[in-house]
Structure 1
Amino acid sequence: MRDERVIFSSSVDSLYRKVLAPSLTPELVDRLRARGMNLHAPLLAAYPLAVWVDCLADTARTLHPDQPVEQGRRRMGRRMVEGYAQTLVGGAVLTLARVVGPMRSLERMQHNFRSGNNYTETRLTVLGPTQADLWFNEPEALEGFVDGVLEEGMLRVGVQGFTLHRTRHSPDSATYHLEWADRSS
């Protein structure tokens, strides 16, 4: 069980309780509970990755029925950063990120993600002052979510003209090519 990939309660709290709560229908909350995420009870310390994946997909389909699930997860990734910013740790991390700039923030990405789960690994390859490749051991089942987290995170760091392109290498890894216009790296 030690090697099980889990999502910490801080992630559930940031996304589901801090920002999505007003949008969650009683039916969706019931389905989330049936999947293993009871939002009416004290949060568990951690949730299996499979529970997180299932809950994100159900939430994406419910809140964004007119979009592909990947796009719904992308929007929820952005909302996750919004909720994370409302926490003591998240507020501090985002404030530090604005001070140190986008490139140094990207160098710390594994540490930042590890505050919300026990499995994320990243590798940064700097290609220029405003360009980098960021490899993630991101499960394909979360496709779109990290895109949204990166987009919103870089926006909150203060970069201009941010773009990303994801290349999937396997069901368990992807590289994000990141570029931005300003030179405050």
Structure 2
Amino acid sequence: MPEPLRAPGVPSAQAAPADRLVFPPIVEGLFVRGLSGRVTPLLRQQLRSEGLDLDRPLLPAYSLETWIRCVALTAKALHPGESDEVAWRMLGERMIDGYRDTLMGRALLGVMKLLGPWRMLSKAQHGFRTSNNYTEVRITETGPTEAEVWLNEPGMLRYFKQGVMLAMSRAAGGASTTVDVRVFDDHCVTYRVSWKDAAR
């Protein structure tokens, strides 16, 4: 598959990199619930050294840098035979599986199932803001069952969010959903999201 084109970034105007925070629901969704029984003692120790102690109550927030380091460690540890892109995407999907079991996740995903894929995308910014303080979303409709979605996600998180959107679209009833990374740079990414269910 050809490498996606790279485009000039548009950094978030909402939060400077040092102020970007990730909140407990996404951390719980991935590490506590989504990966329950799969975090080895060695990985648990490595995560602790990076600022995520799974043997204590979760903190009110984690820096984006801490989150990136912890996801990177976990992708390597749990999916050593996969490319980085695939490993990060798989963790994004797993996070939604676990997030579904949290109080906030049950409420949010329950609503999305009623909305359908298109309206789920239209409310994506609200959904992402339950997990962090920085995500901005821009959506361009390109067809009745297709859209381009721009996110200000830095670096390899573009593939984690690819998995998140894939799992969320499926949860919203989008049959045969695909989420392709189309254009990206170090600060942002544009996806092509398509599905077969034409419900609006």
State the Cα distance separating 1:3 from its structure 2 match: 5.8
Higher relative contact order (CA 8 A, sep 6+): 2
Task: Decide which of 61, 65, 69 is 1:46's aligned counterpart.
Answer: 61
Partner Cα distance (1:99, 1:142) in 2? 28
- Partner residue of 1:172? 187
Instruction: Tell me the SS of whatever aligns to 1:23.
Output: coil
- Partner residue of 2:21? 6
Kindly indicate whether residue 124 of structure 2 is the aligned counterpart of residue 109 of structure 1. yes
- Partner residue of 1:121? 136
Higher helix share: 1
TM-score normalised by length of structure 2: 0.88
Equivalent pair of 2:88/2:156 in contact (CA under 8 Å): no
Unaligned runs of 5+ in 1: none
Kindly indicate whether residue 142 of structure 2 is the aligned counterpart of residue 93 of structure 1. no
Within-5 A mapping of 1:73-84: 73-84=88-99
- Partner residue of 2:165? 150
Aligned-pair identity (%): 38
Q: 1:117 to 1:91 in 2, by over 3 A?
A: same
Partner Cα distance (1:46, 1:135) in 2? 24
Alignment length (residue pairs): 185
Q: Root-mean-square deviation (CA), in Å?
A: 1.5
- Partner residue of 2:82? 67
State the Cα distance separating 1:59 from its structure 2 match: 0.3
State the Cα distance separating 1:42 from its structure 2 match: 1.2
Equivalent pair of 2:115/2:172 in contact (CA under 8 Å): no
Instruction: Tell me the SS of whatever aligns to 2:36.
Output: helix
- Partner residue of 1:138? 153
State the Cα distance separating 1:68 from its structure 2 match: 1.5
Partner Cα distance (1:82, 1:178) in 2? 19
